[in-house]
Amino acid sequence: MTTVEPLSIEAQSLIADAKLLSIDLSIQQVTQLFRLLDELADWNTRINLTAIRQRSEMIQKHLLDSLAVQPFLHGPVVIDVGTGAGFPGLPLAIINPPMRFILIDSIGKKLAFVRHCVDVLGLTNVEVVHTRAETYVPEHRAASVITRAFGSLRLMTEQAGNLCARSGRLLAMKGRVPTDEIDVLPHAWMVTAVERLQVPGLDQERHLVILERRP
């Protein structure tokens, strides 16, 4: 008779928090997400990938923060601009195997980590590209172009707008509502929604600004 090992408290907590985001994590996905953090902690001892070093904070500010945008993601192609150490792209790719994710950044050392994680996690739906967003020409433009801590909304439209399909959307992950940035957007782009993101266990403000081209 095969015995099933009980889930750790940490795994149970992640599954419960993901449910608050309307995400049902499989055991395999939980394993992959935690392996991602294990690799991040290991590589962070040699390369400065993140200032967040406590495991509980990594779960909140890297995993859950990334997963919070799931309801607003459209496929089949998603481009994560300025992915850094792979957030939000890697967690989102783990829970969306049918979608294709392109993770781009101009910093080679960070992308070496991302490529390593794609390998060890067996993510066949992720492409890693070492380039600048404004010079990258994708084979297929994306339905969703997402950024996290990228810069101003104007900069996002100028540097990443060309990656977005005509009917696609730019998704900017922000802390507080960037009212000043919204006020100076180029005329070609408009904000269609500002969504408050409820990240379980996080008492800091999180918002998602959704932009589309004007008709």
pLDDT of residue 6: 78
Q: What are the residue ranges spanned by the domains of the chain?
A: 9-213
SS3 113: helix
Q: What share of the chain is helix, strand, coil (3-state, %, to 5)?
A: 40, 25, 40
**pTM score, two decimals?**
0.95
| Tokens at 169, concatenated | 């959307």
CA separation (Å) from 117 to 43, 47, 126, 168? 11, 15, 10, 28
pLDDT of residue 5: 64
Cβ atoms 65, 206 nearer than 8 A: yes
pLDDT of residue 149: 85
Q: What is the pLDDT along the chain (215 residues), one digit of tens a residue?
A: 444 467 899 999 999 999 999 999 999 999 999 999 999 999 999 999 999 999 999 999 999 999 999 999 999 999 999 999 999 999 999 999 999 999 999 999 999 999 999 999 999 999 999 999 999 999 989 999 999 989 999 999 999 999 999 999 999 999 999 999 999 999 999 999 999 999 999 999 999 999 999 98
pLDDT of residue 66: 98
Considering only CA atoms, which of 159, 171, 155 is closest in space to residue 211?
Answer: 171
Residue in the structure block whose two tokens are 């390369």: 47
* Domain 9-213, CATH among 1.20.1440.230, 3.40.50.150, 3.40.50.2020, 3.30.565.10: 3.40.50.150
Residue in the structure block whose two tokens are 């070492």: 130
Residue in the structure block whose two tokens are 């707008």: 161
